[in-house]
Amino acid sequence: MLFNFFPKDVNFFDLFEKQVEHAVSAAKHFKEVVSKGKINQESLEKMQSIEHQGDDVAHDIMNQLDKSFITPFDREDIHALVKELDDVIDMINTIMSRLVVYRVTGIDKNLVEFSNVIEDSVLALACAVKGMRNKKNSKSVSESCVEVNRLENVGDTMRDAMLGKLFETEKDPIAIIKWKEIYQDAETVLDICEDVAHVVRSILVKHA
Protein backbone atom coordinates (compact mmCIF):
# COMPACT_ATOMS: atom_id res chain seq x y z
CA MET A 1 0.00 0.00 0.00
CA LEU A 2 1.25 3.41 -0.92
CA PHE A 3 1.32 6.31 1.45
CA ASN A 4 0.46 9.43 -0.50
CA PHE A 5 2.38 12.61 -0.48
CA PHE A 6 -0.71 14.77 -0.79
CA PRO A 7 -4.45 14.30 -0.78
CA LYS A 8 -5.10 12.15 -3.81
CA ASP A 9 -5.69 14.11 -6.91
CA VAL A 10 -4.61 11.91 -9.75
CA ASN A 11 -5.22 14.52 -12.40
CA PHE A 12 -2.63 17.01 -11.31
CA PHE A 13 0.14 14.48 -10.97
CA ASP A 14 -0.75 12.93 -14.29
CA LEU A 15 -0.61 16.33 -15.89
CA PHE A 16 2.73 17.22 -14.30
CA GLU A 17 4.15 13.98 -15.63
CA LYS A 18 2.80 14.70 -19.07
CA GLN A 19 4.36 18.14 -19.04
CA VAL A 20 7.77 16.97 -17.86
CA GLU A 21 7.67 14.24 -20.53
CA HIS A 22 7.38 16.96 -23.17
CA ALA A 23 10.44 18.61 -21.65
CA VAL A 24 12.27 15.28 -21.95
CA SER A 25 11.21 14.98 -25.60
CA ALA A 26 12.44 18.51 -26.29
CA ALA A 27 15.83 17.81 -24.68
CA LYS A 28 16.21 14.52 -26.55
CA HIS A 29 15.26 16.01 -29.88
CA PHE A 30 17.61 18.94 -29.32
CA LYS A 31 20.49 16.59 -28.57
CA GLU A 32 19.77 14.55 -31.66
CA VAL A 33 19.62 17.56 -33.97
CA VAL A 34 22.73 19.15 -32.50
CA SER A 35 24.67 15.90 -32.78
CA LYS A 36 23.79 15.65 -36.44
CA GLY A 37 24.77 19.29 -36.90
CA LYS A 38 22.05 20.11 -39.31
CA ILE A 39 18.53 21.35 -38.82
CA ASN A 40 15.99 20.81 -41.53
CA GLN A 41 12.40 21.99 -41.73
CA GLU A 42 11.18 18.66 -40.39
CA SER A 43 13.27 18.79 -37.22
CA LEU A 44 12.29 22.42 -36.61
CA GLU A 45 8.62 21.53 -36.92
CA LYS A 46 9.03 18.56 -34.62
CA MET A 47 10.43 20.85 -31.91
CA GLN A 48 7.63 23.34 -32.43
CA SER A 49 5.09 20.57 -32.14
CA ILE A 50 6.64 19.42 -28.83
CA GLU A 51 6.48 23.01 -27.64
CA HIS A 52 2.81 23.32 -28.57
CA GLN A 53 1.96 20.07 -26.80
CA GLY A 54 3.76 21.35 -23.73
CA ASP A 55 1.75 24.57 -23.91
CA ASP A 56 -1.47 22.60 -24.11
CA VAL A 57 -0.68 20.66 -20.97
CA ALA A 58 0.29 23.86 -19.18
CA HIS A 59 -3.06 25.40 -20.11
CA ASP A 60 -4.87 22.25 -19.01
CA ILE A 61 -3.22 22.45 -15.61
CA MET A 62 -4.02 26.14 -15.19
CA ASN A 63 -7.64 25.47 -16.13
CA GLN A 64 -7.85 22.59 -13.68
CA LEU A 65 -6.39 24.88 -11.06
CA ASP A 66 -9.10 27.47 -11.61
CA LYS A 67 -11.77 24.83 -11.30
CA SER A 68 -10.43 22.93 -8.29
CA PHE A 69 -11.16 23.69 -4.69
CA ILE A 70 -8.66 21.17 -3.46
CA THR A 71 -5.22 21.02 -4.97
CA PRO A 72 -2.38 18.66 -4.01
CA PHE A 73 -0.29 21.64 -2.93
CA ASP A 74 -0.37 25.42 -2.89
CA ARG A 75 -1.72 27.08 -5.98
CA GLU A 76 1.28 29.39 -6.25
CA ASP A 77 3.56 26.36 -6.20
CA ILE A 78 1.60 24.58 -8.93
CA HIS A 79 1.61 27.78 -10.91
CA ALA A 80 5.37 28.19 -10.50
CA LEU A 81 6.04 24.54 -11.35
CA VAL A 82 4.00 24.67 -14.55
CA LYS A 83 5.46 28.00 -15.60
CA GLU A 84 9.07 26.98 -15.07
CA LEU A 85 8.60 23.64 -16.83
CA ASP A 86 7.08 25.52 -19.72
CA ASP A 87 10.07 27.86 -19.74
CA VAL A 88 12.45 24.88 -20.02
CA ILE A 89 10.75 23.73 -23.22
CA ASP A 90 10.48 27.28 -24.58
CA MET A 91 14.16 27.93 -24.04
CA ILE A 92 15.22 24.73 -25.83
CA ASN A 93 12.91 25.66 -28.69
CA THR A 94 14.36 29.18 -28.76
CA ILE A 95 17.92 27.88 -29.12
CA MET A 96 16.87 25.63 -31.93
CA SER A 97 15.22 28.44 -33.85
CA ARG A 98 18.21 30.71 -33.16
CA LEU A 99 20.50 28.17 -34.76
CA VAL A 100 18.40 28.51 -37.90
CA VAL A 101 18.00 32.29 -37.74
CA TYR A 102 21.71 32.85 -37.12
CA ARG A 103 22.49 30.61 -40.07
CA VAL A 104 24.59 28.24 -37.96
CA THR A 105 25.67 25.12 -39.79
CA GLY A 106 27.84 22.14 -38.94
CA ILE A 107 28.51 20.31 -35.71
CA ASP A 108 29.77 22.37 -32.79
CA LYS A 109 31.36 20.12 -30.17
CA ASN A 110 30.59 22.56 -27.37
CA LEU A 111 26.93 22.58 -28.19
CA VAL A 112 26.85 18.78 -28.35
CA GLU A 113 28.42 18.74 -24.90
CA PHE A 114 25.81 21.18 -23.65
CA SER A 115 22.97 19.17 -25.16
CA ASN A 116 24.12 16.15 -23.17
CA VAL A 117 24.12 18.04 -19.91
CA ILE A 118 20.71 19.51 -20.73
CA GLU A 119 19.34 16.03 -21.38
CA ASP A 120 20.77 14.79 -18.07
CA SER A 121 19.28 17.69 -16.21
CA VAL A 122 15.83 17.31 -17.74
CA LEU A 123 15.90 13.57 -17.03
CA ALA A 124 16.75 14.26 -13.38
CA LEU A 125 13.91 16.76 -13.34
CA ALA A 126 11.55 14.13 -14.71
CA CYS A 127 12.53 11.80 -11.84
CA ALA A 128 11.90 14.56 -9.34
CA VAL A 129 8.54 15.57 -10.77
CA LYS A 130 7.31 12.00 -11.16
CA GLY A 131 8.44 11.13 -7.66
CA MET A 132 6.27 13.85 -6.13
CA ARG A 133 3.26 11.58 -6.31
CA ASN A 134 4.36 9.64 -3.32
CA LYS A 135 5.90 10.59 -0.01
CA LYS A 136 8.04 7.48 0.08
CA ASN A 137 10.00 8.87 -2.87
CA SER A 138 10.96 11.89 -0.83
CA LYS A 139 14.62 10.91 -0.66
CA SER A 140 15.02 10.16 -4.36
CA VAL A 141 13.12 13.31 -5.33
CA SER A 142 15.49 15.29 -3.18
CA GLU A 143 18.51 13.55 -4.72
CA SER A 144 17.28 14.33 -8.23
CA CYS A 145 16.98 17.97 -7.28
CA VAL A 146 20.55 17.95 -5.99
CA GLU A 147 21.63 16.44 -9.30
CA VAL A 148 19.89 19.23 -11.22
CA ASN A 149 21.75 21.79 -9.11
CA ARG A 150 25.03 19.99 -9.70
CA LEU A 151 24.47 20.02 -13.46
CA GLU A 152 23.74 23.74 -13.35
CA ASN A 153 27.16 24.28 -11.80
CA VAL A 154 28.71 22.05 -14.45
CA GLY A 155 26.99 24.16 -17.09
CA ASP A 156 28.28 27.41 -15.57
CA THR A 157 31.83 26.18 -15.73
CA MET A 158 31.37 24.83 -19.24
CA ARG A 159 29.92 28.08 -20.52
CA ASP A 160 32.69 30.18 -18.97
CA ALA A 161 35.36 27.93 -20.44
CA MET A 162 33.72 27.99 -23.87
CA LEU A 163 33.25 31.77 -23.86
CA GLY A 164 36.79 32.29 -22.60
CA LYS A 165 38.14 30.23 -25.46
CA LEU A 166 35.85 31.98 -27.92
CA PHE A 167 37.14 35.42 -26.93
CA GLU A 168 40.69 34.16 -26.98
CA THR A 169 40.73 32.41 -30.33
CA GLU A 170 37.81 33.54 -32.49
CA LYS A 171 38.67 36.54 -34.63
CA ASP A 172 35.36 36.82 -36.49
CA PRO A 173 33.09 39.13 -34.45
CA ILE A 174 29.94 37.79 -36.09
CA ALA A 175 30.83 34.26 -34.96
CA ILE A 176 31.36 35.64 -31.45
CA ILE A 177 27.94 37.30 -31.51
CA LYS A 178 26.28 34.04 -32.49
CA TRP A 179 28.07 31.57 -30.27
CA LYS A 180 28.21 33.81 -27.23
CA GLU A 181 24.44 33.99 -27.24
CA ILE A 182 23.92 30.32 -27.99
CA TYR A 183 26.22 29.11 -25.19
CA GLN A 184 24.60 31.52 -22.78
CA ASP A 185 21.17 30.31 -23.87
CA ALA A 186 22.22 26.70 -23.36
CA GLU A 187 23.31 27.52 -19.84
CA THR A 188 20.02 29.32 -19.27
CA VAL A 189 18.18 26.04 -19.90
CA LEU A 190 20.10 24.59 -16.95
CA ASP A 191 19.27 27.65 -14.83
CA ILE A 192 15.59 27.16 -15.50
CA CYS A 193 15.87 23.45 -14.69
CA GLU A 194 17.36 24.53 -11.38
CA ASP A 195 14.38 26.83 -10.84
CA VAL A 196 12.05 23.86 -11.36
CA ALA A 197 14.07 21.80 -8.90
CA HIS A 198 13.85 24.65 -6.44
CA VAL A 199 10.06 24.69 -6.66
CA VAL A 200 9.90 20.91 -6.24
CA ARG A 201 12.13 21.08 -3.20
CA SER A 202 10.13 23.83 -1.55
CA ILE A 203 6.95 21.81 -2.08
CA LEU A 204 8.71 18.85 -0.48
CA VAL A 205 9.70 20.90 2.55
CA LYS A 206 6.18 22.19 3.10
CA HIS A 207 4.73 18.69 2.95
CA ALA A 208 7.47 16.89 4.86
- Taking the C-alpha atoms of residue 162 and residue 110, their distance in angstroms, rounded to an integer, is 7
The answer to whether 6 contacts its own copies (rule: CB under 8 A) is: no
Q: Does 178 bind its own copies (CB under 8 A)?
A: yes
Helices (H), the chain: 10-36, 41-67, 75-101, 109-131, 138-169, 173-206
**206 scored as a contact of its own copies (CB under 8 A):** yes
Stretch that binds its own copies, among 114-122, 123-131, 145-153, 174-182 (CB under 8 A): 174-182
88 and 28 Cβ atoms separated by less than 8 Å:
no
> Using CB under 8 A, which of 21, 43, 176, 191 touches its own copies?
176
Asked if 69 touches its own copies (CB under 8 A), the answer is no
Q: For residue 30, count CB atoms less than 10 angstroms from its CB and return exposed for 0-12, middle for 13-18, buried for 19 or more.
A: buried
Q: Considering the rule CB under 8 A, would residue 70 count as an interface residue with its own copies?
A: no
How far is it, in rounded angstroms, from Cα 136 to Cα 147?
A: 19
Window contacting its own copies (CB under 8 A); options: 29-37, 85-93, 121-129, 157-165: 157-165
Residue 181 sits at φ, ψ, to 5 deg, of -70, -40
Cα gap 44→105, rounded to integer Å: 14
Tell me: does residue 168 bind its own copies (CB under 8 A): yes
Q: Contact region for its own copies (CB under 8 A) — 5-13, 80-88, 165-173, 188-196?
A: 165-173
The closest of 84, 117, 67 to 201, measured between CA atoms, is 84
173 binds its own copies (CB under 8 A): yes
Contacting residue, 8, 56, 105, 174, with its own copies by CB under 8 A: 174
- Chosen residue from 43, 97, 116, 138 binding its own copies by CB under 8 A: 97
Amino acid letter, 129: V
Binding site for its own copies (CB under 8 A): 66, 97, 100-103, 160, 163-164, 167-168, 173-174, 176-178, 180, 205-206
